Amino acid sequence: MRWALVRVSLAVTVMVVLAFAVPLGLVVKELARDRAFADAERQAAQIRPALAITTDREQLERAVASSQAGGDGRLAVHVPGNDGTRQGAGSEGHGPHEAYDIGRRRADPRDVETARRGRSAVTSVPGGYALLQPTALSTGEFAVVEVYVPHRAVGNGVTTSWVILAGVGLGLIVGSLATADRLGLRLVRPAERLAKAAAELGEGKLGVRVREGGPPELRAAAVAFNSMADKIVQLLSHERELAADLSHRLRTPLTVLRLNAASLGEGPAAEQTRAAVAQLEREVDQLICAAREQGERKERPALGCDACEVIRDRMDFWSALAEDEGRAVRLAGVDATVRVPVARPELVAALDAMLGNVFRHTPEGTAFAVDVHHSEDAVIVLVSDAGPGIADPDAALRRGHGDGGPGSTGLGLDIVRRVAESTGGDVRIGRSVLGGTEVRVWLSLGGAGKPRRRERRRRIRTRRPGPDAGRK
């Protein structure tokens, strides 16, 4: 915006300067020319009285030499010949004589003869111009006074005037650019502050505010932004309090479950039930602590976890239920140690959401598989099943839009999506090789929030394990 204003101001100022400076420069040149020829006419007029009195050569030479132009060698007089028949009574020096010239003649003889007919003329000569001024004699003929006007006299002061005009025009252009730059800066700085604050707010810095300044429109935008930021902080505070209250309300039924699990006695089912209740209590405690965090959360590097270890652990948990429902389970690619920039509770929540969807939305006996593929910069987790599939994958990924039927909140895949996007990855839903749904979770290892490039997809060859892959 700033440079756009400067360019517009430059274009407008240059056009205005040219519109006034060029005609004014031409007027100055024309005035200098008129001044030079007016001076030449005045020099020629000084000889007219002498020509009206006499045509004696000696007297005319003295008259020419006494004039300024004649002293400078710029004045000449062309006197026509006379046979004495037209001599007026009482006139002096009008006896018979041949035509003669006084001073240096520069004009062409034909131009001089044209001027003898009583018409003034300006003709070009080497080095300048010649003003030919006819003067009537008492004999009725015309003598021609020639005044030489050099080029330097015609252009006297023109160059200086043009330099001054150019300086004034350049000064106007520089002043206009400086003014436009100041005005642009006054507009750009508040806009830059607003854009920077918006970016910081998008990064989670809830304490950022914009200093109100600049034009009224930008001040109004800053006020609206600050009001919006305050409202966001209030909404998040209310959300944390609500989450904490709801989590705290879960303690009572969890206590009942823990007491009931303690009375189950011994056995694998009882141990699994007690372990599940204990884990649920830990998750509720973590949810309460996270919900009651106050103040602005500073950026901290994710501690991360071993994705394969987490997947193995969750599959141990879900395998018992799969065995009860007669589901065939396949687990592949979890033998290595692969750390991802995701906190363990968040990855556990994402895996439980995907596996819970398999048990909730497919009939008993439906097979499912979990495959892990990894490279130097990404990890792909594939959860596929042999169920009926998802009719609208896009709607399933939108928060609260999943149509899971009774007992479904529609937030499971949204949790998975947020975990993947926190690393710079994404989530895709498609058709699996088992015939049902495939949820592919792309976890980037390049750092949270960094955009993932498409070419990274090509670095990982997601070869699906064959039918003889290990089961768990």
The answer to whether residues 54 and 93 touch, using CB atoms and an 8 Å cutoff, is yes
Spatial strand order in the sheet of 75-79? 100-102, 75-79, 142-150, 128-136, 121-125
The amino acid at residue 71 is G
Partners of 150 in the beta sheet? Answer: 128
Give the confidence band of 438 by pLDDT, cuts at 50, 70, 90.
very high
Write down the residue that tokens 């710079």 correspond to.
424
Is 354 in a helix, a strand, or coil? helix
Summarised one tens digit per residue, pLDDT across range 165-204 is: 889 889 988 888 888 888 887 778 888 888 888 888 888 7
Q: Which span out of 185-194, 200-209, 320-329 was modeled with the highest average pLDDT?
A: 320-329
Give the confidence band of 248 by pLDDT, cuts at 50, 70, 90.
low
Is 84 in a helix, a strand, or coil? coil
118-127, 134-143, 347-356, 408-417: range with lowest mean pLDDT: 408-417
Task: Decide which of 20 and 1 is more confident.
Answer: 20
The amino acid at residue 282 is R
Mean pLDDT of 309-315: 91
Give the confidence band of 372 by pLDDT, cuts at 50, 70, 90.
very high
Give the confidence band of 465 by pLDDT, cuts at 50, 70, 90.
very low
How many angstroms separate the CA atoms of 190 and 212, rounded? Answer: 8
Please return the burial class of 268, using the count of CB atoms within 10 Å of its CB with bins 0-12, 13-18 and 19+: exposed
How many angstroms separate the CA atoms of 404 and 55, rounded? Answer: 128
At 456 the pLDDT is 41
Give the confidence band of 303 by pLDDT, cuts at 50, 70, 90.
low
Mean pLDDT of 316-322: 87
Please return the burial class of 267, using the count of CB atoms within 10 Å of its CB with bins 0-12, 13-18 and 19+: exposed
226 pLDDT higher than 60: yes
Contacts of 158 (CB under 8 A, 6+ apart): 28, 29, 32
The answer to whether residues 52 and 177 touch, using CB atoms and an 8 Å cutoff, is no
Is 471 in a helix, a strand, or coil? strand
458 pLDDT higher than 80: no
Summarised one tens digit per residue, pLDDT across range 28-63 is: 888 988 888 888 888 888 888 888 877 788 888 888
At 440 the pLDDT is 93
pLDDT over 90, % of the chain: 11
pLDDT over 70, % of the chain: 82
How many angstroms separate the CA atoms of 340 and 17, rounded? Answer: 65
Summarised one tens digit per residue, pLDDT across range 59-81 is: 888 888 888 888 888 888 888 87
Mean pLDDT of 267-278: 78
SS3 letters for 139-202? CCCEEEEEEEEEHHHHCCCHHHHHHHHHHHHHHHHHHHHHHHHHHHHHHHHHHHHHHHHHHHHH
Side-chain-side CA neighbours of residue 42 (13 Å)? 7
Task: Decide which of 129 and 258 is more confident.
Answer: 129
Of 112, 156, 154, whose CA–CA distance to 134 is shortest?
112
461 pLDDT higher than 60: no
Mean pLDDT of 200-221: 84
At 454 the pLDDT is 41
How many angstroms separate the CA atoms of 111 and 180, rounded? Answer: 58
Give the confidence band of 395 by pLDDT, cuts at 50, 70, 90.
confident
Summarised one tens digit per residue, pLDDT across range 405-427 is: 444 445 568 788 888 888 889 99
Pair of tokens at residue 287: 């949810």
- φ/ψ of 441, rounded to 5, equals -110, 120
